[in-house]
Amino acid sequence: MFAGHDPYLVALSVVIAILGGYTGFGLAARIRGTPGVSPRTLLAGAASFLAIGIWTMHFIGMLAAPIPADTLYLVLPTIVSFLICALVVGVSLFFVSIGDPSLLRVASSAVLLGAGIASMHYVGIHGLAGNFAIEHDVSMIVLSLLIAIVTAYGGLRVFLARQDGLPLLVSAVAFGLAVSGMHYTAMYGMHFVPLSETAHRHLGGLAASQQVLALVVALLCFVIAAGFLLSLVPDSRRQPARALSSHSVAPAMFAQPEIAPAEPRPGAASGQRVISAPLGGLGQPRPVPASRLPVEGADGTHFIDSTDVRSIRADAHYTRVHDGTRERMCPWSISEAEAQLDPSLFVRVHRSHIVAIPHVSFVRKEGDGAIIELGGASPHRVPVSRAKIAEVKARLGLQKRSAASH
């Protein structure tokens, strides 16, 4: 597969693809968790870096390949190849950045990402101009596309499982393998068929030499490297949110439990009195419910009363809090919010949703689950999972709870 290729340029192409993947996925990971920055801006940046990584890897691979020395690169197909790639990759990232990462959603995104890589490659290949014709082995086309889709799927699954640290690096490596594996497999099935001088193809349009391409590729390598280094710089907007979250949670976790009046336990010896206290777990005091929730704004962290909260929606490692008017980001996770809020007022109705029972204004069955509407200036609806329907109905007084004596 690599016969006749420059091994140093091959290695560089793989490294560039990995760096582009790391930078792009790193930006995509911040779409849900960076206050004050438009998700569209981050999505565009992530798609651009992934597309640049794919495009740059491809043309470094072309510079490493033993292609005819007088080959020119038609500018229009070369630019179109990048635009197609950026568009398809952007749509793929959009699919995995919204909603729950279901199997169908991730598989569809992987197919789109693999198709974007393959489309960029073959459109770019047919931008080559010279005294030759290009032929492809169909089996290698199919194999290269499968490699791109399968490795892209693996990278997306790792990325969605956890979007920082080692998993982010693993997903970037999988992305690099998807791009380079697809490229070199396709190159193995590509053949240059020399044409006679009289049959020389005349292709109109602006063209660039390999030297010009090398300069463009070098510039893009610098852009990717710069983006990668910038992605390693800690984001100061995210760290204070975590710090504030931990400080706001600490008082509740370590507050003294309210001690109930001493009462004799049935069966206790005369004169003995047993003190009982509410428990939050086995032998642990129940935390005092949080009275306020931190939410992020463009100018810093604000706090809203828990009584104003209508619903809480999971959003990656963070949540979105709806106060009846709008939805804002909270640095707590959905599990942390469930643990901190008053269970007599809030109930988790779905793995990704918590609602405030006093603010429920409407409920109806829908499919296997149900839909709840929360009141306010801007009413909104929240799904209820099938497993939670009975509890929700009981909390709303629509059916009696099972008697404890049963």
Q: Please tell me the distance from the alpha carbon of residue 16 to that of residue 264, in angstroms, as a whole number.
A: 73
| Contact call for residues 292 and 283 (beta carbons, < 8 A) | no
Contacts of 103 (CB under 8 A, 6+ apart): none
The list of the chain residues with pLDDT below 50 reads: 1, 198, 237-283, 401-406
Q: What is the pLDDT of residue 203?
A: 56
How would you class 205 by CB atoms within 10 Å of its CB: exposed for 0-12, middle for 13-18, buried for 19 or more?
exposed
Question: What are the CA-CA distances from residue 161 to residues 70, 93, 112, 171, 318 (Å)?
Answer: 47, 15, 20, 10, 14
* Tokens, residue 37: 């920055």
310-324 exposure pattern, b = at least 16 Cβ within 10 A, e = fewer: bbbbbbbbbbbbbbb
Q: What is the pLDDT of residue 347?
A: 93
Residue at token pair 């290949």: 125
**Nearest residue to 376 via CA among 318, 304, 317:** 304
* Sign of torsion over alpha carbons 162, 167, 172, 176: negative
Sheet containing strand 353-356, strands side by side = 327-330, 318-322, 311-315, 353-356, 346-350
| Contact call for residues 186 and 141 (beta carbons, < 8 A) | yes
Contacts of 114 (CB under 8 A, 6+ apart): 145, 148, 149, 150, 152, 178, 182
Helix (H) or strand (E) holding 280: strand 279-281
Q: What is the pLDDT of residue 250?
A: 40
| Contact call for residues 57 and 14 (beta carbons, < 8 A) | yes
| Contact call for residues 68 and 132 (beta carbons, < 8 A) | yes
* Tokens, residue 360: 């429920």
Q: How many Cβ atoms sit within 10 Å of the Cβ of residue 360? A: 20
What's this model's pTM, rounded to 2 decimal places?
Answer: 0.55
pLDDT in tens, 145-158: 898 888 888 877 77
pLDDT in tens, 375-388: 888 888 899 998 88
Q: What is the pLDDT of residue 309?
A: 93
Q: What is the pLDDT of residue 359?
A: 92
CATH numbers and ranges of domains, the chain = 7-231 (no CATH), 290-406 (2.40.50.1020)
* Sign of torsion over alpha carbons 236, 237, 242, 247: positive
